Amino acid sequence: MDGAEYAGVQDHLDRLIGSVRAELEREKGELARLGRHEWSRTFPRLLIVDLVLANVLLWLVLSEYAIYWITASFFLYVVYPFLFLVPSSAATQSDDNGVTRPSERVGENDIAEHRWAIARIFWNSFFINSQPLAPAFVPVYTLNILFALARGTDLTGWLVLFQSAAILVFYIAIAVFKPYTGQFQDSVLGLQSSVVSRIRRRIEPLWKVILPVGLAAGAVAIVLIAAMLLPGFTLGVIWNSEATVSGLGFLPVLFVLASQVVLVRVVQGAASRRLVRQLRERKIGILEQDVLGLLEAHRSRVAKGVPGALDRFAQDFAGIRAAFISSRLYRMQVQDLAGILPIHVVVPDLDLILNRETIQVLGDQPDSRQIL
């Protein structure tokens, strides 16, 4: 190969290295500034102490405090997702990548062809944003169970116990298994392959293979339905069966609900901040090792005119590009309520995902390195 071709590839590598270094600098800057928009740590701590003391006082004064807490907790579960729709302050709303984005959009055929890759991205986003809620919801619904047991287990009490336990299992499972990670998805695929292999080889009776899988799938389905679809039903049952929460009795429910919203928001904010810090650190590691390091190694070989350097770069380029694109699939943003109680959220970068080149790269390189 002539020197002009080597020089052209070297210029191309220089531009790629420059883009990756710019992305790295931006990520390191965001990591260093993480928490810049947070209120003083003293403010949430004092607020939590005041709210806890106020609720303890209500518990000592109001004989029906338990049902107020339980009712408020299911209002919390129903209305809390709508807080994500509240516009954030202009200073913290967006985490702009500050890079030029491709403009060629995917068509219907591209979406249909790569639907599972797109679905996995939104699956990951849902579960990774649910994880910081686990340490926030666990104490709320643990108290639900304790209050329900203390009030007696009538039909409504059993419903509260079942519903609260399902919510606890759902969020604890997310915190433990982390369904958004590649390790979890690989383990599910490995389990599927193992079951199919055992069925085909007929090592043991079919019912011994199918029964455990069916029971596990049924348990997961029950938890998902109970945790995601039934809280509104449970709230309606409580509202219709407990006269103490209607009329003036709704005022203490509102106060407890406001307390729960603030407490959950503070805990979620702290947990999401730690999670985003870990994601940014992982992204920086991937960019440094799996993208920039490989590009600089290829540039060094090309600059020295090593025989076969261009072929090796051509073979590795698809994987390098996929790792770089995968590291940018998610945007990490800060959302607050009127400038206070900020939380960090991880959202799919739709401009990047709905680009033809991006979706084709993800389809061709499904095992590329990701920050999750």
Give the rounded distance of the alpha carbon of 130 from its chain centre: 5
Q: 371 lies in a domain?
A: no
Residue 89 sits in which domain range? 3-364
Q: Count other Cβ atoms within 10 Å, centred on residue 3.
A: 9
Amino acid at 167: I
Q: 154 lies in a domain?
A: yes
pLDDT digits (tens, 9 = 90+) for 204-226: 666 555 666 677 778 877 887 87
Q: 372 lies in a domain?
A: no
Backbone angles phi, psi at 105, to 5 degrees: -85, 155
Q: 121 lies in a domain?
A: yes
Q: 68 lies in a domain?
A: yes
Q: 59 lies in a domain?
A: yes
Q: What is the CA radius of gyration of the chain?
A: 26
Helices 65-79 & 42-61 angle (0-180, nearest 10) = 140
Q: What pTM was computed for the model?
A: 0.84
Q: Is the pLDDT of residue 76 over 80?
A: yes
Q: 274 lies in a domain?
A: yes
pLDDT digits (tens, 9 = 90+) for 310-350: 889 888 888 898 889 888 889 998 888 877 888 999 999 88
Say which residues have a Cβ less than 8 Å from residue 160's Cβ, sequence separation at least 6.
70, 144, 145, 148, 234, 238
Total of domains in the chain: 1
